[in-house]
Structure 1
Amino acid sequence: MGSGPADPVRSRVLSRRSLSLLPPSSRLADSLRVHLRAAFGLSTLLGLMLIACVWAGTHFYLRLDREKSLEAAMANSANIARVFEEHVAQSVKEIDKTLLFLRHAWEADRVGFDLSAWTNNAYLLRDLTVQVALIGPDGRLVATNLTRAPERVDLSDRPHFRAHLGPDRDELYISAPVLGRVSGRWTVQLTRRLSNPDGSFGGVIVASLDPYRLSDFFEQIDLGHEGAITLFGTDGVIRARGGIGTDLIGRSIVGKPLFEAFSRETSGSYLGDGTVSAGRRLVSFRRMKDLPLVVTVGLAEQEFLADYLAIRRNFLGAAAIATLLLLLVIGSGIEHEVRLIRARIAQRASEADVADKTQELEATLAHMSQGIVMIDPDERLRVVNRRAREFLRLPAGGGVRLPEAARAQICGLQGRGAAAEFVLDDGTVIEHLATRLPDGATLHTLTDVTARKRHEAILAEARDRAESASRARTAFLATMSHEIRTPLNGVIGMSRLIEDCDDPAERSAHLDTMRHSAEHLLQIIDDILDVSKLEADRMAFEAIPFEVAEIVRASVEIVAPRAREKGIGLSAEMAPNVPPRVVGDPGRLRQILLNLIGNAVKFTESGGVSVTVEGAPVAGAAETFELRISVADTGIGMAESDLCNLFQEFSQLDGSISRRFGGTGLGLAISRKLLEKMGGRVEVASLQGRGSIFTVILPAQIVAAVAPPSPVGPPTPPVDLGPLDILLAEDNPTNTLVATRVLQKLGHRVTAVVDGQAAIDALASARFDVVLMDVMMPRMDGLAATRAIRDGGQTFADVPIVALTANTLDEDRERAFAAGVDGFATKPVSGERLTAAIAAAIARRAAPGTADGAAIRAA
């Protein structure tokens, strides 16, 4: 910055100085020699002082740098030693847990204890464990994970065996490295004493560790070419080593300075000649708590001081060069003047640089998003940036006094060092931080935190919603647990009563109760599945013609017995303007009406329930009709404040209502979601103690012309398949028993197998009329077995197959038909379901064009 305009000035100064040093006469030459001598003496003194300072500074800096390098190396090696200690302690503790676990298993079952079976588990046997062995009380090898029939090797002379022959001290013993007589490898033995039930010595359980794997930790760190990590025993014997000298395992350092050091202290560092390696080394050690082990991390001095040595060479070279230069300039007083001129030029450049930095600082303050205000002790403005003037409407420039309005906003925190907030007239939220400066002035920082506050409010609201949802789900799970346990208790309780019941009539009543409880449990599970399907948007809907009156009549008839039991009325009325047939999903509409009518009957103790069906054309759509089905009751009703939570899935209005009337609280939530998926809605009006009215509003397309009645004729007689040879593939014994008994009562002959491969083998050895194939089985599942049957090219490739499964999702059905099944039946099965599924499968397999499975998959 100073090289432009300052260059002419420098040239002029140097020219005048050069001319003054060239006198034309001898008098001037004598005067010049006097001044030169004086200058030479002063320059020599100054040069010698500078040389002394250079070498003193170099020595001081190098000594300080060496100390810092040594301290850094000590800190680094100590930290690595701490991590290595934790690594070894964790590994030993994990293996000790395994030994304790195996000892517990041995003590629980001494005769049937199978060491190989227990140690096959990857969670029990770690990578660094070479062998797990069991030594009997006589010192001979009993079992090992390396072989199921080990040689009875005598290990009674081994220290890790003899260490447990004394008093019953339940301690972990860690041996020095030994050469295994079974494994043939150097190992470190971790042992635990085995005790007989009477407390006597029962043997030793041994885990043999690979010492080289213990030092794998070295591969994860960089200790240099000459670095090493070592695991010692407190006896001074090397257990494991990584880095240089890995062949030193088993060597003792008793009597060495390092051994003396970690014998006296639990942790520390040692700098001196290497104990097991040549050269000077820094060794940090830590004696492990509760274990007879010591971890050390060693660094070669020439490596961790490499940077220092390089700097030392550079500094010594620089000092030598500086000395030579100073010796050259000592004899010249002109160089002293030149240095002064250069110093003046550097000063000017520095002043110009300071001016530039000041301008940069002012520009930075002007464009900061934060407001900056610096106030002198007498409350005069020293610094005010643009953002602060916008926030506080302060005047531009410094030296003026702080306005009263701004003083009220920012001076309350003056010098406290705490943050506060205030709101501007336009709603902007300002965070204010005041800091007292050493000269008594105060620096105020103003930050616009409006957006942050808004985000915090949004996050708080989201957190509240999440907590509310969590509480609702917890309440729902509690209700589900109660509702599932109630029918399950009925099933279990009735089964126990039947065991002790001899009266046929009473047994029949118990069986009816058990069946009703099981059906209730199945309905609860179906409701939960419906909620899951709706939440995942995987519910399928139909669009077929149906009679509205028939759906309403059937729904009322299903609930009528319950109404008669309670002694309340149940009626249905159709308005004349309702079209006889519309297009929609009759099954889902029936499900919705059953939920609403069933709820109305359940919550009505006196009076009655009425169902009214009305309709009206939709304006602008000639073929679209809006159905309005109202279900009114004279039951307990609801408060208006409760209506907003009525259709929530995981919420119930009152736990006492659930306990009094029963139910999961899912029916209304499912009904509302079904209506929304079909383009409709549900409305509710209620008065507490007076009753409720639920109104279903559903758009439906009117059937243009009345379709001819289906040629159903008289009721279809039951399907008579005759006695069949049926192959049942089912892995669950209970399901096998139920299906076998049901089929045998229908007159069929049943052969049961436990998986898909067994089914294929059975088909290859005998002829069957149909196969009932469970979908989920071990070894080979039902779908894999079906594909193998269809694609195997065998004579039984065209046998009819019916898939049996507890999965009810549409994609499960599609996967089954894609695999090649001819029928699909869901559990729990009944005689009617099995007969219908078998008949449909035989018919589909017999239909033309089914050889390639295309017609089946399309069915």
Structure 2
Amino acid sequence: MDVTPNPLPLVRRASQAFAILRRRFARIQLASLIVIAALWMALGALIAWDAGSEIRTARAGATALADALSANTARVLREAEQVAAVVAMQVRNDGVAIPLAQFVDEGILKLDAFVQVGVIDAHGVLRASTLPGFKTIDLSGRENFRIHLHDPSTAPVVGKPLIGRTSGKAQFQLSQRIDGRDGSFLGVVIVSVDPAYFTELYKGLRVGRNGLVLVLGTNDFIVRAGGAGSSRGNAFGATLPPDDALRRALQQSPSGTLRMRSLVDGADTVIGYQTLKDFPLAVAVGYSTDEYLSAWRTRSAFLLAAAILLTALILITDRRTSRRAAALVDSERRYRQLIERSPYAVLVQRADIVTFANPKALSTLGATSEAELLGQPIARFEHFVHLDHLSSVGGRSKPRRQAGAAAEALEQTWVRLDGSKIFVEVTAVPYDENGEPGSIVLLHDMTRRKQAEAQRDQLFELSLDLICITSPDGYFTRVNPAFSEVLGWTADELLSRPFIDFVVPSDRQATSQAIQEHRSGAPIEHLEVRFVCKDGSVRWLAWNAVVLPDGTAYATARDVTERRNAQLQIEQARSDAEAASRAKSAFLAMMSHEIRTPMNGVIGMIEVLTRSELSGDQKDMVCTIRDSANALLKLIDDILDFSKIEAGKLQVEYAPLSVEELIDGVCMSLATVAEQRAVALRTFVSPDLPALVLSDDTRLRQILYNLVGNAIKFCGNRASDRGQVWVQARLEAAPPELHFEVRDNGIGMSPEALAKLFRPFSQAEASTTRRFGGTGLGLAICRRLVDLMNGDISVTSQLGSGSTFIVRLPLLRAPEQPARRNLPDLSGVTCFVAASPDFESADIVSYLQSAGAAASVLSDLDFAGRELPATRGPAVLLHDGRGGSVEPESFGVELAARPFSQVLITAGYTLAPAAHDENVIAIGRQALRRRTLLDAVAMASGGMLWHAAGSMPGERGRSAPPEPVRRSPNIAGAIILVAEDDAINRKVISRQLALLGYAAEIASHGKEALRMWQPGRYALLLTDLHMPHMDGYQLAQAIRGEEEQHQHPRLPIVALTANAIQGEANRVRQLGFDGYLTKPLKLNQLQQVLECWIVPPDALQSPSAPSSCVASAASTVDLGVLKGIVGDDAEIVGELLKEYLDSAGGLADDLRRHARDALPREVAAVAHKLKSSSRSIGALGFGDLCAELETVARQGDAEPLSELVAQFDTAFSGVSDEVHRLLQTVTGA
């Protein structure tokens, strides 16, 4: 059969058919739109005609009603004329005072539509009325009277609407003049018409609910009556505005119709109007548009609904037709796109001839045009099949076509027209076109996928990492060779058992749990699991896997056994290092504690020895021993601090402090050392610093003491020039920091020495240790403390030129700053500072300017002679005093007449300015404080203000060692029990107690002390805290338990310990101790505690004895401390004592108030201030109580805080009394 192939593809023919179909549907849609338009045009014309018909009917009805109402209104008015004529005749006959009410009763007058009938006499007074019981009223002012008074006509007049003065009702009146028989004016008869008569009458008219009926004048257009329509208002008395449509219509025609807005409610109304012939009135009747068009609206709504329904039916039909057409077009488009854009090559053959090939078929087979494939016999396509697969194709296609079944997909290698090979998947589907059998052949090019699979398999096989796939039942379905290389198992062995069998038993539960938790598809990342090798060894594998919801898993693993072993070794090494560090720290702490214990014997016995009679050489040797012991104790303290830092037990406690007071205190304590070593100590605290900052007073003081002490040590006793140490504190703005700078001109350091400067147990040079001594711990401790305070410490140095240390700390302002600093006000004072190599002139100027003075630096004193005469007010010259004070005459006659004062800044150290001569004040430049400088200038300028001792740097003064005392018999009989395990310490304490006049009995451990105490013969217990068998803590708790159980009097217990850790005092007090002493014991400290707690035996029964003891000790004031600070001037000492009383009283009140309000931080701040000021005046015991109160308040313990506040009240009362007594003694008052 000769079949001519049709070169037009099936898709293109289908596209033409659907184009024709689209045009047909478009014509149907156009016809539907025309029908809908015609329908709505006809409907609009019909509705418009119907509306016009309704309007015409309403106009006709309104006209007819207006004619009828005009006739009725005219009738009523004629009746009113007749009544008026009858009344006028009676007046002419009987006079104006006729009985009209009687006429009504007798039926002579009928008042159907009338409110009343009345007669007004010639003077305007109402003389007769149909209203019963009327009273005469003057109506001469009414218009209906005045119009007849001047008009001789007797024709009736229709008046304006009004409210009757007699009847009190709304009405309009018809009035008529009454003349006598002789023509004289007798009066006026009035007939009042009731508008309600018309209203009631009009209600019977069918004008609708919102209709309108009006009676109005044609000359004044005022409504006389109106109504009808239940929803309308009453227009009675209203006047038609000039632009009203009804008014214009009445002016133009006596009758007619119009459409207008109602004057009553503004509604659209059709009105018919008619003018009365014999009266100046018109009647108007109106229909509401809303009502007379209601029937039309109903009909129109029905017609519109029908039209809408018909339109909707047409549109729905058209829509459905359009949708079917669009669906067919869209289906054709999708079919065309599916074929043309299909990722599969599509060939269509009919009668064994290829009739269609999509673009993918052309590119897959390497054809450049359709002509190379279309029209070709299908048998030719067997040439595309590679020879290796040709046998599977032969005889396969024709039987499939005959059976009408689709051929199953085959994967084959084909050869393209250019000779290259491709790997395809071939599928044939039967196809019938117009009764002619054919088929659709689909080719899927799988060349890239096959290449990717080959690469994947190669990666799977060659990967060094372990790769596997597991089935939902937990078996390996595929593993790569790396499994066998790492674990030793063959692939068959791995696939034959569940993979969990190869996991170390202790890891199986975690592995299974991880797989279950990640079945949602979330990846398992770095799950390290131990697997058992075939040889029995264990390997660590780090897994990354994805588990599908059905349980299938794809995973990779890496052998991390070596890394795990290395990690274990590192962890073990770290653990060993940490253990060694802890052991070292514990060893250092223990050793420092053990060293302090025998030091108690050394220093204690030295103090005892100094009380004995010694020769000069012996005293010198004892002093040497004492200095060596103190140096050794300082070394032990450094080791203890370092060990606490290393062990992480040292904490920073932030509290408000004054940087100025801190530096002044540190430098004041080191000023004597600096003098001894011939070192000039210069200080400067920037006035820009806040008055109070938050920092740790103890730790910051320790840092500065170490740095300043080192600077003095390394630049002192120089042979060539004088050593210089500068200590400065400044404020850095960005970022806000405190900068402490300690600079010296000492020996300096080399770069090699700087590199190991902050290492513990090291110094810059070995020769440094031999020359200057020290452990090398000081700077290491400073570095650790600065780190704890979130700061930084740096150093610059040059060998032979000195060193500079800078400590940078974050600036933390205290939340509450004092309103003003307690410093002199130097406003108005002019100061000249003569430059000198012995002090920093710029720093002194800064101090002076901060106090308000006008200050400047002079290059020499001769320049002062030229500048001083030009100043006003007090003038002060500050200079180094070389050659003594300056005489004014030395500057010439002009300056001699200008008085001025001088401040000599001389060598040495002073705490307070001293009068050197008249108008000359002297101060020492060694560690010169701002307060001392400003006080001196204030004194020199004549405005000295003394300030409270509480604002001075609080440094504890030193009192002379206590002299041996003899006890009264009852006191001497009080025996002290001492519990101490160290034999040397027992001997030292015994000698110290004997020296102080006390008897003692010794126990070597806690159990022995408890046994000795039970008879109750002792006045006080001194116990070491660390003893065998029973330590001091257990001993105190046992005694307190016995006292509570058997109601024994409370025994004062004082702890003895070599543990100088901060907070230990509070801890022992919470455990039942009453006092706390740190070894080595100082004789004066021991005496103060004993004097506090040793009381007469009869006082031991009083439960208040402890607090009174504390108050007694705390009430002591050693005036020698204050004199050691400011000198022996009685006036100065008295002034400071007075200022202390004034300031301390207010602070004590603040402390009590804060304690009542449960504000421990505020209590601590006040206690800190009182501690400093109290120690400065010599109230050392009270200062210690304030220090303890400050510590407890910062810890926030309520119970011990309340006890200490109670002790504070008693102690402060005693201190106040003592200061008052001393004040009287000093001042002689």
TM-score range, shorter chain: 0.3 to 0.5
Q: Which has the larger radius of gyration?
A: 2
TM-score by length of 1: 0.40
TM-score by length of 2: 0.29
